[in-house]
Structure formats: structure tokens, C-alpha cells
Amino acid sequence: MSLMISNSWERRFRPASRYLRSSNRRANFAMALISLLLLLVATGTAFPFNSHYIVVAKDGSGDFKTITEAISSLPMFNYQRVVIYIKNGVYDEKIRVSQDYVTLRGESRDSTIIEYNQLRTDWIAHEDTIGPAVVNIHADDIVLENLTVRNTQPKVGPHAFAVYDRGTRTVFVNCNLLSKGGDTVSPWAYKTGMYYFSNCKFEGAVDCVCPRGWCFVRNSKFYELKKGSTAIWHAGGYNINQKFVIVNSTFNGVKGFHLGRHHYEAQFYLLGCTFSRNMADTPIYRVTYKDSTKDRPFNWGERDYYYDCRRNGGNYRWFADNLSSAAGSPSPSTITPEWTFDKKWNPESTREPRIIKYEIHGDYVLFFFKEPITVIGAPVLVSRDGKNLQYASGAGSDTLRFVSKSGGITTSDLRGLVLTGGGQLFGTTAEVHQLNVNLNLHI
């Protein structure tokens, strides 16, 4: 492992170092510091937060043995994308992600398992700082991919979260999200929450997948474990455009399961979905109470839209095509993740981050982007004319500074830039694909 003593590390020792007046004392202090660094290396705790790629392995072959330790190694304010790669194994722990821009990536979907036994009522009675779910997300731009999250409490029905999410722009790809209880997947940032799922399996009881805000699901499987309970639920009362969109997915469960319901204002779009014969003949419905003072506001009316959906064993009339009756009469091709999130986020984007403008200041240049950029290593940009521009600062922001050590920079020095030096530059926002920076300036 390569070690660098940072300015922040020096500051930690500054109070002690001011007492070291003699050269001998300075030498003794240096030797003590080196000994400490060697000890940290030997114990595997030497500055893991400086890494963009952290490995978790139960057998000790990685940087950490638990996911909790890996997350705890990150700085409180994390500005760049960090991948925590989790090797196969059953990790009996519940975790809290409070730092932005974290990817939890499993070695294999069915063999990388995060599990914990947690009833919501038990957590309420004995609250801890981690949260009520197996995976608790309190940060933005988080990605979970290629793993299983399972709440192992054994009862069918009571609230038992697999995922509880209060962040925004969360991506779930190729995941199993499982519980026998209700509210299995609960993304609940009701003002700004934007959640994307692709190729996932959901299993649970009452309101198995129950997002607030904006949510898009593609190519996924829902399984409802409790008769008379609903597979999906939505709350979209904060903004009339909030919606829950499900595309090309399947619904199955015990005989007599219901499709969906809502307590608050809600908006459902289901396109190309297949329902099993076990689904009851019950449309998505609003929950009301005998005591009407408990009812939630309902000013926008029932908004449930379907296109090309079918049920094995015969269709029900209530999910006949009616997409044209939705606001703006969207076509099926219009209903994309970017449309779902009101063009505020496109998690399926394939557009590389581009330099939107630049400023030359003598021997350095500032490049501006529309999103924060992650910088790995020590990137060097080489122009068509052979000018070298070395990365200087700006990682994790939307502005990067590159410096020339061979004199002033001109506009012609920015033509035909190519990334060298073994470094990387890519977008930090949560997306399905890692998108490297496009350095092509039309000069």
C-alpha cells in the first residue's frame, strides 16, 4: 500500500510538534510517526477513505470484513464516487449510508447477501442510530447493484423494511429486495425523492414497493406474499407531477393478492406488465376511513394509467389501455425515466459529461461541467500540438483546474485533448452507466 501524509494529517500532529524544538526530538517524532503508519498498514486501517475502490470480504481478503466498517471509513462529506465492492457471503448486519456518491456492488446477485432480522415495531421500541431497515439510505446519488438485501424476520405481514431510503437519485440494478413483512422497499423522501430500479426482484407483504415522490421500475418481478394485500403503493401529494412508473414487469403472488392502493394523492403508470392469474379483480384504490377526518387530501382524482398490460387467465376491464387520458396524453415511447423524473435526472443516460465552457488564466485553465466530476489518479491532458495540462484541483465539483508547467496556455492548446497519465475523469451523479468525460471542445 502506498502512503502519503496529507496536510490534514500534519494538522492533527501540529499541537504536538510545536514542542519538538531540537533536531533529536524532531527525529524521535518522525520515527514515532513512521512506526504509527507501519502499524496502520499492518492492521489494514491506513487511510482507506482515500480509495475510490474498497473491497469487503468476510474471509479477510479485502480491505474490511464488514460493510459497516467500509462505510465508516468514508469521510463525513464525500464528494466523489466511491465503489464498495462486496465479495460473496452472507453479511448479517444492517447498514446506514449517510455519505453521498456511494456504490454498493456485489460480486454476484444471489450470493452477496446483506440480511438482518428487524421488525419496524421493534426498532421503534428500541431505536438505534442505524435505522429501521436492513439497508438505510440517508444520502443522495447512491447505487446498489448485483446483490441481495433480505429482512429475515419470519412473520408475514408486519412492517419489516429491506430498504428504507430518504435520499434522492438512488439507483438499484440487478438486486433482490426481500422481506416477509410489509413495506419491503420504502423510498420515502416525499419532496425530492427520485428512485430508479432495473432488473430487480421484490418480495413482501402489504405495500411491498411503496415509493413517495418519483419512481421508475423496469424489467422487474413483484411477488406479493399476503392474500388481500397490495403489491404497490404510492404517495405523490407534494407535487402534482410525482408518479410511479412500472414498465415491462411481472406481478405474481398468493391467490387473491391485490395490485395496488394509495392513502395520499398518487399517480400510477403501468406499461407492458404481466399479471398472474392469482391477482384479484380489484383495481388500484384509495384508502379511506370511517372517520373522514383521517382521510388524506384528494383533489387530483384517481390517476391510474395502463398500456398493453395482460393477465394470465384473462384480462380485467380496469387495466384496459387508457394512457391517452393521462395529462398530456403521453405515448408509450414518451414514458422514459427522464420523462418520469420531469427531466431533472436521466439515470439511463449515455451522454458523456461535456465541458460547457472554459477560462484560461495564464498557465492554468478552468473547465466547467453541468455536474460534479470524479477524478481518479493524476490525469494529464495532452493537446493535438503536444501541450501537457496536469490536473491540479476541483475533484468532486463541477469545475476542474488543469495547469501547464511549460508556460502560458492559449486557445489552440485546448484542441484535440486526450486523457493520459493513467487517471480517470467521469460523472459523479448516480447513473446506470459510468460515463467518462468528453474532452472534445469545438474550438
Compute CA distances 416 → 381, 398, 411, 412, whole Å: 9, 21, 11, 9
Distance CA 232, CA 206 (A): 8
Residue 187 near residue 200, CB atoms below 8 Å: no
* Cell of residue 37, nine digits: 503508519
Q: What does DSSP say about strands 95-97 and 135-137: parallel, antiparallel, or unpaired?
A: parallel
Label residue 357 left, alpha or beta by phi (over 0 means left) and psi (-120 to 50 means alpha): beta
Give the burial class of 203: count Cβ atoms within 10 A of its Cβ; 0-12 exposed, 13-18 middle, 19 or more buried.
Answer: buried
Return the closest-CA partner of residue 8 out of 39, 36, 50, 40.
50
pLDDT score for 443: 76
Residue 93 near residue 136, CB atoms below 8 Å: no
Cell 405523490 found at? 236
DSSP state of 416: T
Weakly modelled stretches of the chain, pLDDT under 70: 1-50
Cell 384480462 found at? 315
pLDDT score for 115: 98
pLDDT score for 51: 79
pLDDT score for 257: 98
Distance CA 157, CA 176 (A): 19
Q: Which fold has domain 357-427?
A: Thrombin, subunit H (2.40.10)
- CATH architecture of the domain 48-340 equals 3 Solenoid (2.160)
Residue 159 near residue 181, CB atoms below 8 Å: yes
Distance CA 129, CA 117 (A): 16
pLDDT score for 31: 52
Distance CA 99, CA 142 (A): 9
* Cell of residue 443, nine digits: 474550438
pTM over 0.85: yes
Give the burial class of 15: count Cβ atoms within 10 A of its Cβ; 0-12 exposed, 13-18 middle, 19 or more buried.
Answer: exposed
User: Could you tell me the sign of the dihedral formed by the alpha carbons of 62, 63, 64, 70, in that order?
Assistant: negative
Q: Which residues lie across from 91 on neighbouring strands?
A: 114
Distance CA 409, CA 430 (A): 34
Domain assignments of the chain as residue spans, ordered by start? 7-43, 48-340, 357-427
Which stretches of 326-398 are DSSP H helices? 337-340
CA 332, distance to chain mean position in Å, is 26
pLDDT score for 380: 97
Residue 273 near residue 309, CB atoms below 8 Å: yes
